[in-house]
Amino acid sequence: MQRNVGGRDRLARTVLAVVLAVAAVWAFGRGNRAVGLAAGLGAVGAGFNAITCFCGVNAALGIDTTE
């Protein structure tokens, strides 16, 4: 996997992952499993992108935000 996520894009994905993780915990706590699952999966995906600096959608579209 070639790096294609960097800089502000990586920071934005990190913040998004944290926000979605909090939303998932909140939704599960309120008993809304569907929303909790969707938010949790989104958090895992955004977190994966931020940690590995790779995004499959960026690769497919030819987008590279690394400096």
Structural domains of the chain, count: 1
- Cα separation, 5 vs 51, whole angstroms: 10
The number of CA neighbours under 13 Å toward the Cβ of 38 is: 4
The number of CA neighbours under 13 Å toward the Cβ of 25 is: 5
pLDDT tens by residue, the chain, 67 residues: 899 999 999 999 999 999 999 999 999 999 999 999 999 999 999 999 999 999 999 999 999 999 8
**Cβ atoms 58, 7 nearer than 8 A:** no
Is 59 inside any structural domain?
no
User: What integer pLDDT is reported at residue 67 of this predicted model?
Assistant: 82
Is 62 inside any structural domain?
no
pTM strictly above 0.85: yes
Which residues form the domain of 17?
Answer: 7-54
User: What integer pLDDT is reported at residue 1 of this predicted model?
Assistant: 84
